[in-house]
């Protein structure tokens, strides 16, 4: 948590001029984290837990006094026990982050399940769409080391090759929910290439952003250093995507 506090203090001033461009100063920010919690994430889960928990603190402090609502969908695969672990949106701030059910749920997660290579990302998005979204500034952040099911997205070992995530992606587009992908493994390359094309084909690429962090995982650095870098990259990506969307929406008026 000290890492998040230091980064928030360092960067908070950089948001002042950018925040003045937000159309409604009383608006809120909705962020839903989609996290692969299968056994293949075992080597990453400690870092992910610390990052997610610190990101809660980071965003709630950096965007104050704006309200930041965060939610979480942990997902596994078809047939796994506890296939989805869900926490709906809650207003998280510096005063309540440690007591929040979101924080506690993330800290309690144990990785398990996952048989074939891909996981049920489509199901995770569908559950995310059912949450109580309230802001015009809304994002899902996908953190995964394996692709979604479907021959369009997965190179090897898919027990459900006819699955297709496109309907879930199009619903995100329809509801103007930004999609930020955090890429940790080459196994997701085909998926993200296909998702990029889907957004381009629909003329909605402004709602899609990808952060390649494969190099970060391989770096021989301490957990604290990797957490700091992860938070910096994800926060910058969300900030940049939000700013681009604000400019895009103003042009439509």
64-102 per-position pLDDT tens digit? 657 888 898 999 988 888 899 999 998 876 666 666 777
Residue 14 pLDDT: 47
- Residue 87, SS3? strand
Residue 13 pLDDT: 47
Question: Is CATH 3.40.50.410 correct for 28-252?
Answer: yes
- pTM here? 0.83
Mean model confidence pLDDT for the chain: 78
State how far the alpha carbon of 252 is from the alpha carbons of 34, 183, 241, in Å.
30, 31, 17
Q: Which helix (H) or strand (E) holds 189?
A: helix 189-201
């Amino acid at each position: 948590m000290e890492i998040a506090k230091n980064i928030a203090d360092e960067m908070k001033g950089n948001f002042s001029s950018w925040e003045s461009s937000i159309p409604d100063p009383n608006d809120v920010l909705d962020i839903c984290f989609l996290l692969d919690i299968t056994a293949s994430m075992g080597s990453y889960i400690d870092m992910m837990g610390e990052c997610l928990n610190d990101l809660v603190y980071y965003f709630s402090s950096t965007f104050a006094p704006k309200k930041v609502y965060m939610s979480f969908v942990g997902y596994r695969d078809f047939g796994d026990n506890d296939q989805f672990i869900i926490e709906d949106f809650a207003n998280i701030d510096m005063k309540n982050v440690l007591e929040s059910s979101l924080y506690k749920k993330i800290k309690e997660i144990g990785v398990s399940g996952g048989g074939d290579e891909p996981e049920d990302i489509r199901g995770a998005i569908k559950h995310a769409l059912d949450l109580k979204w309230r802001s015009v500034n809304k994002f899902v952040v996908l953190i995964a080391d394996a692709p979604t099911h479907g021959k369009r997205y997965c190179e090897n070992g898919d027990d459900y090759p006819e699955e297709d995530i496109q309907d879930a992606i199009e619903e995100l587009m329809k509801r103007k929910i930004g999609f930020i992908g955090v890429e940790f493994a080459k196994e997701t390359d085909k998926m993200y290439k296909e998702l990029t094309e889907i957004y381009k084909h629909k003329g909605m690429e402004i709602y899609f952003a990808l952060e390649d962090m494969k190099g970060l995982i391989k770096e021989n650095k301490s957990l604290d250093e990797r957490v700091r870098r992860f938070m910096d990259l994800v926060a910058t990506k969300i900030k940049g995507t939000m700013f681009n969307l604000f400019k895009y929406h103003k042009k439509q008026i």
